[in-house]
């Protein structure tokens, strides 16, 4: 039995109360809940009882939770965090590799650059870092201004702090130590910053695609 528009609104109000307004998930969760209710109605339950049973089943998915992958300070509904972890897990490894592999490499292998090369490499790295930093700031501002919630927006929010990986090397200006070697920790920061920018770029595109898919302006 098909439920009425007013009854659908009641289900939507329940989701709103749970602050569950992630556009990439809301459509299918709402549809699933309505389908659950309709199957109860087909078995001669009243709408009120069907709604209560369905809510009882779904409540656990809206409990606030966090994940080790993002940090305990970032929490959302369990269903959102679960999806976010699935999406983010491969990038977490990329993030760690980008930060720690240059450090490990440069600590173990000494590559000495000449003064003229140092000047050129510093200039190049500073330019690239500045471009990445500007792009990252653009993403942050655009996403904050858009207000539309998606799982990808949640992931992006957890990555904003990574901007310090670009700011610190840029403020230092010089990426080499006095011996003419690339500074390991600073290089780790720099590659971490590049990884964060790439991750933000990837999820920003996904966020924009979801907005387009559901035609929200």
Partner 1 sequence: MGNQKLYKGSLQTIILKLLEKNDRMYGYEITQKVKALTKGELNITEGALYPALHKLEADGLLDVEVAKVDNRLRKYYKLTEIGTKETANKLEEMQEFLRTMQHLVNPKFSLE
Least distance to partner 1, CB of residue 122, Å: 38
Query: Between residues 83 and 175, which has the closer beta carbon with respect to partner 1?
Result: 83
Residue 31 interacts with partner 1 (CB under 8 A)?
Answer: yes
Tell me how far CA of residue 166 lies from CA of 131, 197, 213, 214, in angstroms: 10, 9, 32, 34
Residue 214 interacts with partner 1 (CB under 8 A)?
Answer: yes
Output the six-digit token pair for 61: 């998915």
Provide the sign of the torsion angle of the four alpha carbons 13, 15, 19, 23, taken in this order.
Answer: negative
Helices (H) and strands (E) in the chain, counts: 8, 2
Q: Which of 48, 64, 71, 86 binds partner 1 (CB under 8 A)?
A: 86
> What CA–CA distance (Å, rounded) separates 114 from 182?
11
Radius of gyration of the chain (CA): 24
Residue 87 interacts with partner 1 (CB under 8 A)?
Answer: yes
> What CA–CA distance (Å, rounded) separates 183 from 125?
13
H/E element, 214: none
Residue 28 interacts with partner 1 (CB under 8 A)?
Answer: yes
- The site string for partner 1 over 148-187 (x = CB under 8 A, - otherwise) reads ----------------------------------------
Residue 96 interacts with partner 1 (CB under 8 A)?
Answer: no
Stretch that binds partner 1, among 34-42, 138-146, 164-172, 173-181 (CB under 8 A): 34-42
CB distance 64 to 77 below 8 Å: yes
Least distance to partner 1, CB of residue 162, Å: 21
Residue 5 interacts with partner 1 (CB under 8 A)?
Answer: yes
Query: Between residues 21 and 31, which has the closer beta carbon with respect to partner 1?
Result: 31
Residue 76 interacts with partner 1 (CB under 8 A)?
Answer: no
Residue 30 interacts with partner 1 (CB under 8 A)?
Answer: yes
Region of residue 66 (left: phi > 0; alpha: psi -120 to 50; beta: else): beta
Strands 64-67, 71-77: pairing is antiparallel
Least distance to partner 1, CB of residue 56, Å: 13
Least distance to partner 1, CB of residue 139, Å: 19
Tell me how far CA of residue 176 lies from CA of 29, 133, 148, 169, in angstroms: 53, 20, 43, 11
The residues of the shown chain that bind partner 1, judged by CB under 8 A, are 2, 4-5, 8, 25, 27-32, 34-36, 58, 60-61, 78-79, 82-83, 86-87, 213-214
């Amino acid at each position: 039995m098909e439920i009425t528009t007013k009854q659908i609104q009641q289900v939507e109000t329940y989701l709103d109360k749970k602050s569950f307004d992630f556009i990439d998930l809301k459509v299918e969760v709402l549809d699933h809940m309505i389908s659950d209710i309709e199957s109860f109605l087909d078995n001669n339950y009243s709408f009120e009882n069907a709604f209560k049973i369905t809510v009882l089943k779904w409540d656990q998915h809206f409990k606030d939770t966090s994940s080790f992958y993002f940090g305990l300070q970032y929490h959302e509904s369990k269903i959102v965090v679960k999806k976010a972890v699935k999406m983010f897990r491969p990038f977490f490894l990329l993030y760690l590799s980008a930060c720690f592999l240059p450090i490990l490499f440069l600590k173990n292998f000494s590559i000495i650059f000449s003064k003229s090369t140092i000047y050129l490499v510093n200039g190049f790295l500073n330019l690239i870092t500045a471009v990445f930093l500007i792009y990252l700031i653009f993403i942050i501002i655009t996403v904050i201004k858009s207000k539309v919630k998606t799982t990808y927006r949640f992931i992006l929010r957890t990555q904003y702090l990574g901007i310090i990986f670009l700011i610190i090397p840029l403020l230092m200006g010089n990426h080499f130590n006095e011996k003419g070697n690339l500074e390991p920790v600073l290089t780790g920061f720099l590659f971490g910053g590049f990884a964060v920018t790439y991750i933000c770029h990837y999820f920003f595109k996904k966020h924009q695609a979801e907005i387009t898919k559901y035609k929200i302006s």
